[in-house]
Amino acid sequence: MIEWGNAVRIGLMGLAVHKFRAALSMLGIIFGVASVVAVIAVSEGARGEVLKQLAAMGVNNIMVTGLDWRSGGSETRDIKKKARLGSNGLTLREAEAALAHCRLLVTYAPLRKVQASIRSGETPVSADVVGTTPAFLGVMGYRLREGRWFLPPDEKEARRVCVIEDTIRQECFKLESPLGRTLVIDHEPYEVVGVLESKEASSDQKYEVIDIKQLNRRCYIPLAATLARMTQEPLSDQVSEIIFQCRSSRDVHAAAAVLNRCFDAWHNMESWRPDDKDFKVRVAQDLVKQTEASQRIFNYVMGCSAGISLVVGGIGIMNIMLANVTERRREIGIRRAVGATQHDILRQFLFESLSICLLGGLMGCLLGVGFTWLVQYWTQWQTVLAWWSMFVALAVSLLDGVAFGTYPAWQAGKLDPIEALRYE
Amino acid sequence: MSATPAPDNETLPPAAAADAAPVRDDLVIATQDLAKAYVMEGGGVPALCGVSMHVRRGEFVSIMGQSGSGKSTLLHVLGCLHRASGGSYRLDGIEVTDLNDDELSVVRNQKIGFVFQKFNLLPHEDIVENVALPLVYARQPRHERLAAAKRMLQVIGLGDRLHHKPGELSGGQSQRVAIARALVTEPAVILADEPTGNLDSVTGLEIMALFQALHRAGRTIVQVTHDREKAEYGQRIIHLKDGLISEVEVVVSPRRAEQVVSGVEVLA
């Protein structure tokens, strides 16, 4: 066996002779590796972002969401209608009962989303109207930018006040202070009493993993106001969602199980499949897991496509190496004549394909960093360059070199020395 | 130039015959009924049909024959580039007909120095690397093999062109580099295939002078040529015809290439 240093030197020399050809054959590997690096950077960035968003939702929180039976196809609607026959959906009474029943829970904040038009003066505003109670701010851990949050009297008297999120403030009031100004919600005037601080996690709401799509576009009004003025059944205490806060993050799963049992009993749904029930209990921590699961699928899909490009790159390498072997038959003959064994020749050409792949892999890493930067620059997405992705990409490209370089190298090794020497 | 036909068709080496008891250690090449047939679609095509020949250490032998006579095949078999299909072949005391491909590679590396008609230098390596090439496969450390190659090139008179590429050299210089490469492993025999075939007559003479100087320094040389005049620079001429030795001539007074390349004597 000839020494490794020399094998590398000979391999690199082989590349140097046909620089352009080597560069062309590297392209597949370069782009394959670059896409692996960039995709993983984007995916890691997305994961970080989602985790941040979930942290914003509170790790101690359990969300119980009532399903809207009006949505969906006719078939599922029928099933859901049936499901709703036995219950009235989520209600404030249930929330109170659950809080009394389960000692692990500290407090809760109900949410009622309503379809309502909003105007600022004569200009329509795109926003979601959500009714909630004074507890909401504490449960979610949101902070106020200016003004105040709802006080108990607001709720008790169903006052026409609202707290808006930052995007609405920017759109409707620009540089002026919105406090004391009026928004018209379903033809009724509401006084703006506070503005929530913008939630940094939602850097464009691109990840709709959880229901926070309109995170900075909400207009909160007292729940009592919602129930009294915006629903067809004025005496109803139905809400769309209840957020329970747990004593500690360790208890959330136990509390979620209790809540599941409670709502099953109240809605007469013990024997229903989870998907058919009219409510859903979700834990923020589980959402992280769900996110990670969907992230994994994304990674697999992207990994497969990157893998395909690496295979295509490998085929390119094989093609070029076969051409190399044919073209350099005379050199092979000379080396064999002066004492190279078949293994020496095989190793030489294998090193050449490995060098191409390694070099291509390194260039691909650089290009991947460039791609990542461009993606971040153009889309403002959060990206995180993962060093392990580069090691993986390099390892895979080396594997490529072995997998696709072995056959041409073997061909080179088994050439007859005399035939090789006669090659013109 | 005078040459007399030898009566014996190489059944015994002349030296051994003279000594009554054959001294086999004295033989660098000893073949017995060496045969080689090429496998073609329609069956085997014989190229060598039982060649028995000997080359003593320090001899300068020429093999001559028409094209198709089997002289190139004989050189390839002697050079362990092809395996014989029959007979036996001892090279420097080693029976090589039984060796596998890897072992033959080692034999080529250690026992044989090739000089080709077309020089066969690696065009992208400089001439030191070219000369050092056999030492790569002799697993010598890089600094040692480069030192040996430089020494050999200085001896051969190309010490000032160490880092030139083969393309920058004349034909004669290229062939001298090839000879330096053949010598660098101190092989038992130098096999030259039409070494002057690609050179003009003056340069050809230079190469012959170099061979004669190496011969005087004790090297064993076997050259294949179709040129009678070049053959007469050796001590003996083996004539091949249809894959058989037709005649062995002893060259009574070999031609002398007038020019002597300086420094070659150092090789002794």
Q: Which of B124, B134, B139 sits opposite A17 (nearest CB)?
A: B124
Range(s) of the domain holding residue A225: 60-284
Cβ distance B82 to A17 less than 8 Å, yes or no, reads: no
User: B30-47 pLDDT, tens per residue?
Assistant: 999 999 998 887 778 888
Longest dimension (CA), chain A: 103
Q: Does B145 touch chain A (CB under 8 A)?
A: no
Helix (H) or strand (E) holding B224: strand B221-225
| Pair (A262, A312) in one structural domain | no
Q: How many CB atoms lie within 10 A of CB A63?
A: 22
| Alpha carbons B216 and B231: distance in angstroms, whole number | 17
| Pair (A249, A308) in one structural domain | no
| Pair (A280, A295) in one structural domain | no
| Alpha carbons A323 and A271: distance in angstroms, whole number | 68
* Beta-bridge mates of residue B192: B115, B223
**In angstroms, how far is the first alpha carbon of chain B from the final one?**
28
* Beta-bridge mates of residue B244: B241
Structural domain count, chain A: 2
Closest of A361, A368, A421, A345 to residue A394, by C-alpha: A361
Q: How many CB atoms lie within 10 A of CB A285?
A: 17
| Pair (A191, A280) in one structural domain | yes
B82 vs A contacts (CB less than 8 Å): 418
Q: Which long-range contacts (CB under 8 A, 24 or more apart) does A320-324 make?
A: A320/A21, A320/A22, A320/A24, A320/A25, A320/A356, A321/A25, A321/A349, A321/A352, A321/A353, A321/A404, A321/A405, A321/A408, A321/A409, A322/A407, A322/A408, A322/A411, A323/A21, A324/A14, A324/A18, A324/A349, A324/A352, A324/A408
| Pair (A123, A193) in one structural domain | yes
Distance from CA of B109 to the nearest CA of A (A): 4
Cβ distance A417 to B81 less than 8 Å, yes or no, reads: yes
Distance from CA of B18 to the nearest CA of A (A): 35
Cβ distance B134 to A330 less than 8 Å, yes or no, reads: no
| Pair (A158, A277) in one structural domain | yes
Question: In a 10 Å sphere around its CB, with 0-12 CB exposed, 13-18 middle and 19+ buried, how is residue A73 labelled?
Answer: exposed
Pairing of strands A105-114, A241-246: antiparallel
| Alpha carbons A91 and A105: distance in angstroms, whole number | 17
Averaged over B49-71, what is the pLDDT?
92
Q: Does B181 touch chain A (CB under 8 A)?
A: yes
Distance from CA of B82 to the nearest CA of A (A): 8
Averaged over B235-261, what is the pLDDT?
85
| Alpha carbons A366 and A390: distance in angstroms, whole number | 9
Boundary of a domain, candidates A284, A318, A336: A284
Q: How many CB atoms lie within 10 A of CB A293?
A: 10
Closest of B70, B251, B259, B264 to residue B183, by C-alpha: B264
Cβ distance B76 to A418 less than 8 Å, yes or no, reads: yes
- How many beta-carbon pairs under 8 angstroms link A with B? 68
Q: Does B266 touch chain A (CB under 8 A)?
A: no
| Alpha carbons A261 and A250: distance in angstroms, whole number | 19
| Pair (A311, A262) in one structural domain | no
Q: Please name the residue of chain B whose CA is at the shortest distance from the CA of residue A16.
A: B124
Residue B2 pLDDT class (50, 70, 90 cuts) = very low
| Pair (A94, A223) in one structural domain | yes
Closest of B68, B47, B3 to residue B226, by C-alpha: B68
Q: Which of B81, B101, B142 sits opposite A418 (nearest CB)?
A: B81
| Pair (A354, A382) in one structural domain | yes
pLDDT of B257 reads 79
Q: Does B143 touch chain A (CB under 8 A)?
A: no
Averaged over B230-243, what is the pLDDT?
93
pLDDT of A214 reads 52
A340 vs B contacts (CB less than 8 Å): 105, 136-137
Question: What is the CATH number assigned to the segment(s) B3-267?
Answer: 3.40.50.300
DSSP state of B249: E
Q: Which of B79, B125, B137 sits opposite A340 (nearest CB)?
A: B137
Q: Does B116 touch chain A (CB under 8 A)?
A: yes
| Pair (A387, A299) in one structural domain | yes
B114 vs A contacts (CB less than 8 Å): 337-338
Instruction: Tell me the residue type at B79.
Output: G
User: B188-233 pLDDT, tens per residue?
Assistant: 999 999 999 888 888 888 899 999 999 999 999 999 998 898 999 9
Q: Does B105 touch chain A (CB under 8 A)?
A: yes
At residue B11, does pLDDT exceed 90? Answer: no
Cβ distance B124 to A330 less than 8 Å, yes or no, reads: no
Q: Does B109 touch chain A (CB under 8 A)?
A: yes
| Alpha carbons A136 and A336: distance in angstroms, whole number | 82
**Phi and psi based region of residue A55 (left: phi greater than 0; alpha: psi -120 to 50; beta: remaining):** alpha
Q: Does B114 touch chain A (CB under 8 A)?
A: yes
> What crossing angle do the helices spanning A342-379 and A329-337 adopt, rounded to 10°?
140
Residue B62 pLDDT class (50, 70, 90 cuts) = very high
Closest of A143, A84, A83, A134 to residue A110, by C-alpha: A134
Question: In a 10 Å sphere around its CB, with 0-12 CB exposed, 13-18 middle and 19+ buried, how is residue A261 labelled?
Answer: middle
Boundary of a domain, candidates A268, A284, A300: A284
Distance from CA of A418 to the nearest CA of B (A): 7
Boundary of a domain, candidates A247, A265, A284: A284
| Alpha carbons B73 and B158: distance in angstroms, whole number | 32
Residues in chain A: 424
Q: Please name the residue of chain A whose CA is at the shortest distance from the CA of residue B139.
A: A2
- Mean pLDDT by groups of 10 residues along chain A of 424 residues: 68 78 85 87 81 71 74 55 62 87 88 84 84 88 87 88 87 84 88 82 39 66 82 70 86 87 83 77 76 80 82 88 90 94 91 88 93 89 86 89 94 92 82
| Alpha carbons B59 and B62: distance in angstroms, whole number | 10
